[in-house]
Amino acid sequence: MSDIVTVIAPVNIAVIKYWGKRDEKLILPLNDSVSATLDTSVMCAKTSVCARPDILENEIWLNGVHSSFCNQRLQNCLTEIKAIARNQKSVTDEFLSWNVRICSVNNFPTAAGLASSAAGYACLVAALAKLYKIQSDISKIARMGSGSACRSVYGGFVRWHAGVNPDGSDSIASQVADSSHWKEMRVLILVVADTKKHISSSKGMTCSVETSELLKYRVEHSVPKRVKDICEAIKDRNFSNFAEITMKDSNQFHAICLDTYPPCVYMTDVSHKIVEIVHKYNEINGDVKVAYTFDAGPNACLYLLEKDISDVLSLIRHMFPTSSNEFVKGLDAPETNKTDVLKDFP
């Protein structure tokens, strides 16, 4: 019988978006993407795993609900980890033959465009890697669960290299700068709606690849320069360059969503109001002090520096007086004294 292994993994918010796959099965992206990994104390997934001879079939519990293990991506991650463990002989054959029980919870709304699958799969893969004692680049395996998950494997600012190899061996994440590099950087999440999105990211991007001409332009002409420039802005701690590229990339991503046929509409009137307020605020200040970015949902992620937090929060509370800052709280995973935090963040 194995011990229970528990891991906590953070959410990451992309500043250069991943949108479109060149290989659906291996989850290989069309373009590089860049993100920042958040502090685990705010938004994270927590996953506990164990393997035992008396578990009759593989089981998964998501936010307290017994869910289907038929999910192909989930099975791919488990199969890959077991194959590595077999190769590395890191556990016995008997241990490998036992079924697993997985229990995962998020402390924020699932599937509301808040990168829940990123934290979820990063957490799951890190927990399984620990359970089977494998030594491997786990970003590659997390990618097989959900593309954006490979970036949650590292803290700080992270780049997912699209890679060129057909087997995905070079489609991995690496750190641009660690979490201590830009200590003043903050992210505010404005929860516009915490309901499940009507078009999943996976479906939306498949449809964009098939129908959007703008997507081809983005991949070839916009992203390479943006990735290079934003990595430089991060290294130089140049907030205005960082912010400008972040907003432009979010806007282009949502333009592609609208260029998709039928269109994927993720932003709402409130989301657009936030965009307007941010531009007005930056204009009044004569400097770019806040950047917005929106994933496949209406919720806004604002990047800003610590010194501007109270000013911006007052503005948001003034503009949206009825807004609530509460996240939906998930059920807790089983407590063990062996909880591992995937990476350290300030």
Least distance to ligand DP6, CB of residue 116, Å: 9
Task: Check: CB of residue 209 under 8 Å from CB of residue 215.
Answer: yes
If the CB atoms of residues 147 and 282 are measured against ligand DP6, the closer one turns out to be 147
By CB under 6 A, name the one of 106, 146, 250, 299 that touches ligand DP6. 146
Least distance to ligand DP6, CB of residue 327, Å: 18
Count the residues of the shown chain that bind ligand DP6, applying the rule CB under 6 A.
Answer: 16
Told to check if 202 binds ligand DP6 by CB under 6 A, we report yes
Contact range with ligand DP6 by CB under 6 A, out of 125-133, 146-154, 240-248, 254-262: 146-154
Q: What string of DSSP letters covers 143-210?
A: HTT-GGGGGGGSSSEEEE---S-TT-TT--EEEEE-TTTTTTEEEEEE-S--SPPSS-HHHHHHHHHH
Kind and range of the H or E run holding 257: helix 239-259
The 105-144 site mask, x for binding ligand DP6 (CB under 6 A), equals: ----------x-xx--------------------------
Task: Check: CB of residue 29 under 8 Å from CB of residue 18.
Answer: yes
Least distance to ligand DP6, CB of residue 266, Å: 8
If the CB atoms of residues 19 and 98 are measured against ligand DP6, the closer one turns out to be 19
Q: What are phi and psi of 314, to 5 degrees?
A: -60, -40
Classify 342 as helix, strand or coil.
coil
Least distance to ligand DP6, CB of residue 103, Å: 21
Q: What string of DSSP letters covers 279-295?
A: HHHHHHHTS--EEEEE-
Q: What string of DSSP letters covers 42-96?
A: TSEEEEEEEEETT--S-EEEETTEEE-TT-HHHHHHHHHHHHHHHHHT-S-HHHH
If the CB atoms of residues 202 and 339 are measured against ligand DP6, the closer one turns out to be 202
By CB under 6 A, name the one of 45, 49, 85, 296 that touches ligand DP6. 296
CA distance 294 to 114: 9
Tell me the β-bridge partners of 49.
5, 102
Contact range with ligand DP6 by CB under 6 A, out of 14-22, 53-61, 88-96, 168-176: 14-22
Residue with smallest beta-carbon separation from ligand DP6 = 147
By CB under 6 A, name the one of 14, 28, 125, 141 that touches ligand DP6. 14
Residues numbered 36-95 forming contacts with ligand DP6, rule: CB under 6 A: none
CA distance 160 to 178: 15
Told to check if 17 binds ligand DP6 by CB under 6 A, we report yes
Tokens (6 digits) for 293 = 């970015």
Least distance to ligand DP6, CB of residue 261, Å: 18
The residue with tokens 């590089």 is 32
Told to check if 18 binds ligand DP6 by CB under 6 A, we report yes
Q: Is 313 exposed, middle or buried, given 0-12, 13-18 or 19+ CB atoms closer than 10 A?
A: middle
Residues numbered 235-294 forming contacts with ligand DP6, rule: CB under 6 A: none
Residues of this chain that bind ligand DP6 (CB under 6 A): 14, 17-19, 27, 33, 115, 117-118, 146-148, 201-202, 295-296
